[in-house]
Amino acid sequence: MEASESEHLKSLIFSTAQELWEDKDALGRFLTVVRRSEGFAKLADTLEQSEVRPANATFYGVKSTEFQN
């Protein structure tokens, strides 16, 4: 079964948030862009409020892994 476009975007968001985690300014700018995407504002809010680096996308049940290390 092929992952949907939404799954691909979620995977990209989680992976990018992991990479930018230490640079809070860059992370904040990225999440501002994510909030403009239809359906991902809540995800961006959750990531920004988190105090720990996000897990891999597969931890959240995202099936798309092409952006994972």
**pLDDT tens-place string over residues 23-51:** 999 999 999 999 998 889 999 999 999 99
CB contact set of 7 (below 8 Å; sequence gap of 6+): 62, 63, 64
Question: 3-state SS string over the chain?
Answer: CCCCHHHHHHHHHHHHHHHHCCCHHHHHHHHHHHHHCCCCHHHHHHHHHCCCCCCCHHHHCCCCCCCCC
Give residue 62's pLDDT band: very low, low, confident or very high (50, 70, 90).
confident
Record the tokens describing residue 2, joined without a space. Answer: 């092929």
Distance CA 25, CA 29 (A): 6
pLDDT for the residue 55: 85
